[in-house]
Structure 1
Amino acid sequence: MSLRLARRAGSVCVLLALAGCGGAVRVEPPEPEPEAAAACRTLADRLPRTLDGAERTESVPASPYVAVWGGGEVTLRCGVPRPANMSATDQVPVVNDVAWFQDPVRPLLYTSVGRAAHVEVTISREHAPDSVLVGLAAPITAALPQTG
């Protein structure tokens, strides 16, 4: 294979990966505590196949604590630690009975709080955060009990 053809093939692979067409999306799974892990496995069984018009995509490595839609446009990680930059006095919006902390440094990152496990959701600019959070509210409320 010529160097020129190899470069062209490499460019196509990079473009496919960036477009989400190249298969599974790499997402580092969290390592939840045992109680949170059980709740996250319950949540995994309840997550929608489609979220804000995006179809579910495989993730690598495969994990019951990770879900991906739209080739990485929306990613969910269940069982993450409480957000380090969240203070006790922060006001968090509630969407359909789920409280969400929006990271001030990474505004496309939301973390559910006040439940048996924290759920971190990253939402690309192609999606409306409210629509995504509403789509996740029913499975989260059904699978993750509120904590005191």
Structure 2
Amino acid sequence: MPVLVALLALPGCTPGDSDARVDPPPTPPADVAGLCAALHKELPGTVAGLARTRTDPESDLTAAWGGSAIVLRCGIAKPPKMADPAQDGVEVNGVRWLLEKLDNGGFRFTTGARLAYTEVRVDKEHATDAGMLVGLSAVVAKTVPQGISSY
């Protein structure tokens, strides 16, 4: 949990204007795609003080804030690291997240115990604000039921 405490310590930065290139995951099964579409409709206009950015290509499976500072992809396949009990994780507002530090200094958070896996990548500059997981967790909890995805 020390990483989460450190992430909560600093505020977010100002919004970016550019489009974000976000490759959607391969087309998930219809039930997962439906959950992702419901999530997409509920996503906030700002996360950690960053404005929502148009993604290229546009997809119900992707979203971004502050250019590509925070990028969400829904409907990903189960990450192999989910099976490793030694992996770090956090729980925010009833949503479990696998926590991975990336080589570029950013983080990847992936939901667990939900019927659709969702990943959120945060760049190094914005990895200090875990407040973004609070809002995103609330939306995930509202739109993606608990369970174990078979995808």
Task: State the TM-score, normalized to the length of structure 1.
Answer: 0.79
Where in structure 2 are the equivalents of 1:1-148 lying within 5 Å? Answer: 21=17, 23-30=18-25, 31-87=27-83, 89-90=85-86, 92-103=89-100, 108-127=107-126, 128-147=128-147
Q: How many aligned residue pairs are there?
A: 129
Amino acid at match of 2:50: A
Distance across 1 between alignment mates of 2:59 and 2:125? 25
Q: CA distance change for structure 1 residues 83 and 104 in 2, over 3 Å: closer, same or farther?
A: farther
Larger RCO of the pair (alpha carbons < 8 Å, separation 6+): 2
* 1:123–1:129 contact (8 Å) kept in structure 2: no
Amino acid at match of 1:97: G
Distance across 1 between alignment mates of 2:58 and 2:30? 18
**Larger of the two Rg values belongs to structure:** 1
Question: Greater shift after overlay, 121-130 or 64-73?
Answer: 121-130
Amino acid at match of 1:29: P
What SS does the aligned partner of 1:115 have? coil
Task: State the TM-score, normalized to the length of structure 2.
Answer: 0.77
**Cα distance per residue 1:48-92 (max 9 Å; x no partner):** 000000000001111001000001100000000111122252463
* 2:89–2:97 contact (8 Å) kept in structure 1: yes
CA RMSD of aligned residues (A): 1.9
Quote the residue 1:12 is aligned against: none
Displacement over 3 Å in runs of 4+? 104-107
What SS does the aligned partner of 2:124 have? coil
Amino acid at match of 1:87: A
Structure 1 unmatched runs, 5+: 1-19
Distance across 1 between alignment mates of 2:57 and 2:146? 29
What SS does the aligned partner of 1:40 have? helix
What SS does the aligned partner of 2:137 have? helix
What SS does the aligned partner of 1:85 have? helix
Distance across 2 between alignment mates of 1:104 and 1:33? 29
